[in-house]
């Protein structure tokens, strides 16, 4: 099945920017939902942004206005542009995939996606 590999994390100062990437191991030809999630220790994974095969985009409140999710289908890569980062954005960021469906209203549930990458760490000081 498809594998996901995140990259682009790092350490930035508050107010800075980062762009995360999620490379898919193969092209996905069926309907699908992809999303970015984040997790801090001892807390549940939370949704940040989603993008489905129909081009529908959703953001959670914490990401709205500062983060942008996009996808390059020629590179099979999902992106998350993050601007004006805050200390509370520091987390391990994961990308996830659920095939055979576009994103539904409950996409941000921690158990929604079926395939996950290993994550990339974002630190904001």
The secondary structure of 12-31 as a DSSP string is E-TT--EEEEEEESS---S-
pLDDT in tens, 45-76: 999 999 999 999 999 999 999 999 999 999 99
Strand partners, 92: 39, 121
Residue with tokens 């107010």: 15
pLDDT in tens, 12-40: 999 999 999 999 999 999 999 999 999 99
Alpha-carbon distance of 106 to 117, in angstroms, equals 20
Band of residue 1 on the pLDDT scale cut at 50, 70, 90:
confident
Alpha-carbon distances of 93 from 22, 30, 55, 112, 120, rounded to whole Å: 10, 25, 22, 15, 5
Strand partners, 24: 4
pLDDT in tens, 83-125: 999 999 999 999 999 999 999 999 999 999 999 999 999 999 9
């Amino acid at each position: 099945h498809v594998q996901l590999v995140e990259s682009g994390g790092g350490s930035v100062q508050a107010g800075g920017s980062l762009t995360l990437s999620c490379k898919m191991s193969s092209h996905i030809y069926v309907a699908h939902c992809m999303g970015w999630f984040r997790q801090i220790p001892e807390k549940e994974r939370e949704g940040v942004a989603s993008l489905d095969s129909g081009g529908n985009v959703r953001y959670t409140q914490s990401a709205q206005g500062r983060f942008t999710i996009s996808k390059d289908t020629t590179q099979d890569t999902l992106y998350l542009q993050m601007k004006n980062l805050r200390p509370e954005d520091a987390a391990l960021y994961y990308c996830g995939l659920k095939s055979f469906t576009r994103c539904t209203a409950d996409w941000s549930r921690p158990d929604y996606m079926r395939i996950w990458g290993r994550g990339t760490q974002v630190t904001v000081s």
